[in-house]
């Protein structure tokens, strides 16, 4: 049966005022545009998802520029095949130290000496001392003014080595150790006498017992930090008391992690930037005893992997050699605020036992290769236009950018990057043509599509922009990754200072309708079928005001009910009544009521 009136609200019929009916969708409209910008590189890499800071994901071959305000290709690296040293492996530590103007490396039975720290070019090691068949280095440390202390585990007594005279001597007959540190003219060592840690200079000696076997030692906070196999950390300082004929200090426990379980735990222990770092349960951990009670104990720094093969401090960075979760060998540098990926070696030899070179040959760092006499040399600090620290190529990758709305798809429309520097950072006279390219990924970095590239050959041109528009439907995803690549780098490079992407947000709002119209509330209203409405205008208006006041959901039949037979559930969210002649107080049956309905 046809509906006798235009609309029906809560079972009551109403006629519309001509030209006032409007039906639209309700909610946030689709297609909102926005922009996401990466402009802060402080804090390094390993940021997988866009959070409070727009940092970077793993990016090989680039490092911090302008104190983290930008990035550039870094570090310079090369390799050297050494005809002197034994083949180094991950299964046996290559211990190293710097003393008397040289960098020293102990491996197997041999103590090897680098070229002088003042030398400007690198050459192979010199085999300086042979400790005999069966000896195997486990640790090496500076000891006294120009001496070294050599530790061999169970294979040989602790030896001291005078680097000036080139002579070795036994510290004390029968004393063996696996780890040690030179401190105040004495050697603190342990690892071969159960829980006992010793202090000895060949003349005076003393010892203390800890809660576990010493595993690794390092200078920290003016004392010696000792990690034990039970997971405890001790600090031991003091000096020799000649009157009492004993060492004045006592080991002070300042943290216990738990029962030692993994042979990789404490594979290194080193102090950097006033904090203590180690490898613990598959991750690089930081301990800051001065952080206060709100952050006691070890804190993860964000770098994890299957295994670790040593660490050192070089060029004001902590360098760690690991095998990542994916089985790929990696070398990382920590600048105190974040990690920077120096290189990955997919399908290659594991890098191990990083060694500080202190500028020997104008290099800062050496990493050995597993089962090889070839090693890698790195220049991490910029020296001059000739001895620079630029990598020949590098890629910077953003984290997974989501524009703050991770749950919604975006149509990415335009991407770009900026390069800028307030100074000339490389060789100002260079004519090297550096290629920079901008690419994007919508599949989490599995594949990248190059969007723009250019070649620049003027080091004095300090600013550069790269921008690309993406075709319709070319990049629709919840996440976007940007990648900026540097190649053909010789002795200068633009500094990446920002990357951005513009998008259109593809919302999925609730699919509901919204109506606005005016109804006639008058006496003797003529309906569609020619009949007269039974209710007076006063009653029609009063019913609508009552429904609005109640805030209840009511059934609604639209103007096309005859064709659709659909009934919607709505709420009256807006109402306004107009009276043509307010002075006619007796005729409230002559008004127009404006309504706004929203589907529930």
pLDDT tens per residue across span 263-320: 889 999 999 999 999 998 899 999 876 554 444 567 899 999 999 999 999 999 999 9
The better pLDDT of the pair 232, 220 is held by 220
Taking residues 160-179, report their average pLDDT.
Answer: 97
Q: What is the pLDDT of residues 465-523, one digit of tens each?
A: 999 999 887 899 999 999 999 999 999 999 999 999 999 988 666 678 999 999 999 88
Taking residues 6-14, report their average pLDDT.
Answer: 94
pLDDT of residue 259: 60
In angstroms, the CA 321 to CA 298 distance is 20
pLDDT band at 113 (very low <50, low <70, confident <90, very high): very high
pLDDT of residue 298: 78
Nearest CA among 502, 491, 414, 408 for reference residue 451: 414
Cβ-contact 458, 493 below 8 angstroms = no
pLDDT of residue 294: 43
Q: Give me the count of residues in the chain.
A: 600
Residue 362, phi then psi, degrees to nearest 5? 65, 35
Lowest mean pLDDT among 31-45, 47-61, 110-124, 525-539: 47-61
Dig out the tokens for 12 from the structure: 């009551």
Lowest mean pLDDT among 138-147, 217-226, 522-531: 522-531
Cα angle 331, 333, 311; round to 5: 70
Lowest mean pLDDT among 38-47, 280-289, 432-441: 280-289
Give the SS3 label for residue 338.
coil
pLDDT of residue 293: 43
Taking residues 437-445, report their average pLDDT.
Answer: 97
pLDDT of residue 232: 86
Q: Does an H or E element contain 318, and which?
A: strand 317-323
pLDDT of residue 583: 62
Taking residues 177-199, report their average pLDDT.
Answer: 97
- Is the pLDDT confidence value at 587 over 60? no
Report how far apart, in Å, the C-alpha atoms of 429 and of each of 419, 459, 486, 488, 509 are.
19, 7, 19, 16, 58
In angstroms, the CA 217 to CA 235 distance is 10
pLDDT of residue 321: 98
Q: What is the pLDDT of residues 318-375, one digit of tens each?
A: 999 999 999 999 999 999 999 999 999 988 899 999 999 999 999 999 999 999 999 9
Query: Could you tell me the pTM of the whole model?
Result: 0.82
pLDDT band at 581 (very low <50, low <70, confident <90, very high): confident
How remote is the C-alpha of 345 from its chain's centroid?
A: 20
Cβ-contact 197, 188 below 8 angstroms = yes
């Amino acid at each position: 049966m046809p509906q006798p009136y235009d609309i029906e609200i809560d079972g009551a019929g109403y006629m519309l005022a001509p030209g006032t009916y409007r039906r639209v969708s309700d909610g946030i409209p689709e297609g909102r545009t926005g922009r996401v910008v990466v402009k802060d590189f402080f804090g390094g890499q390993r940021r997988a998802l866009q959070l409070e800071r727009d940092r970077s994901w793993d990016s090989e071959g680039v490092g911090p520029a302008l104190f983290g305000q930008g990035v550039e290709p870094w570090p310079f690296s090369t390799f050297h095949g050494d005809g002197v040293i034994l083949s180094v492996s991950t299964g046996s530590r290559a211990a190293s130290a710097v003393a008397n103007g040289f960098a020293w490396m102990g491996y197997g039975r041999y103590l090897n000496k680098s070229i002088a720290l003042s030398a400007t070019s690198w050459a192979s090691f010199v085999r300086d001392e042979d400790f005999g068949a069966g000896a195997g280095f486990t640790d090496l440390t500076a000891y006294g003014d120009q001496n070294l202390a050599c530790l061999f585990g169970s294979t040989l007594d602790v030896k001291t080595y005078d680097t000036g005279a080139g002579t070795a001597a036994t510290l004390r007959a029968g004393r063996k150790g696996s780890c040690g540190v030179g401190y105040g003219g004495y050697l603190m060592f342990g690892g071969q006498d159960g829980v006992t840690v010793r202090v000895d200079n060949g003349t005076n000696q003393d010892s203390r017992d800890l809660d576990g076997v010493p595993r690794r030692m390092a200078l920290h906070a003016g004392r010696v930090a000792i990690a034990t196999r039970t997971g405890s950390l001790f600090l031991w300082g003091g000096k020799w008391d000649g009157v009492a004929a004993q060492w004045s200090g006592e080991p002070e426990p300042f943290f216990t992690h738990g029962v030692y379980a993994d042979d990789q735990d404490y594979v290194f222990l080193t102090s950097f930037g006033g904090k203590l770092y180690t490898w613990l349960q598959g991750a690089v951990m930081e301990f800051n005893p001065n952080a206060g009670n709100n952050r006691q104990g070890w804190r993860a720094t964000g770098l994890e992997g299957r295994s670790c093969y040593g660490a050192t401090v070089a060029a004001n960075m902590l360098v760690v050699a690991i095998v990542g979760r994916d089985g790929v060998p990696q070398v990382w540098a920590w600048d105190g605020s974040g990690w920077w990926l120096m290189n990955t070696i997919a399908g290659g030899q594991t890098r191990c036992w990083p060694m500080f070179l202190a500028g020997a040959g104008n290099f800062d760092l050496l990493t050995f290769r597993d089962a090889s006499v070839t090693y890698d040399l790195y220049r991490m600090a910029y020296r001059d236009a000739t001895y620079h620290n630029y990598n020949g190529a590098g890629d910077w990758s953003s984290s997974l950018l989501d524009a703050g709305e991770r749950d919604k798809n975006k149509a990415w429309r335009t991407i770009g990057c900026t390069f800028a520097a307030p100074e000339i950072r490389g060789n100002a006279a260079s004519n090297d043509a550096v290629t920079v390219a901008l690419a994007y990924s919508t599949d989490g970095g599995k594949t990248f599509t190059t969007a723009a590239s250019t070649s620049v050959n003027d080091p004095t041109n300090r600013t550069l922009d790269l921008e690309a528009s993406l075709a319709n439907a070319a990049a629709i995803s919840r996440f976007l990754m940007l990648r900026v690549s540097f190649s053909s780098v010789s002795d200068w490079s633009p500094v990446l200072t920002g990357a951005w992407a513009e998008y259109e947000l593809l919302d999925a709002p609730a699919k509901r309708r919204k109506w606005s119209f005016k109804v006639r509330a008058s006496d003797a209203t003529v309906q569609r079928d020619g009949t007269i409405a039974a209710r007076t205008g006063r009653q029609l208006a009063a019913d609508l005001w009552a429904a609005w006041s109640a805030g209840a959901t009511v059934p609604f039949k639209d103007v096309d009910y005859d064709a659709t037979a659909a009934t919607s559930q709505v709420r009256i969210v807006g109402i306004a009544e107009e009276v043509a002649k307010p002075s006619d107080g007796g005729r409230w049956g002559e008004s127009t009521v404006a309504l706004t309905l929203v589907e529930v």
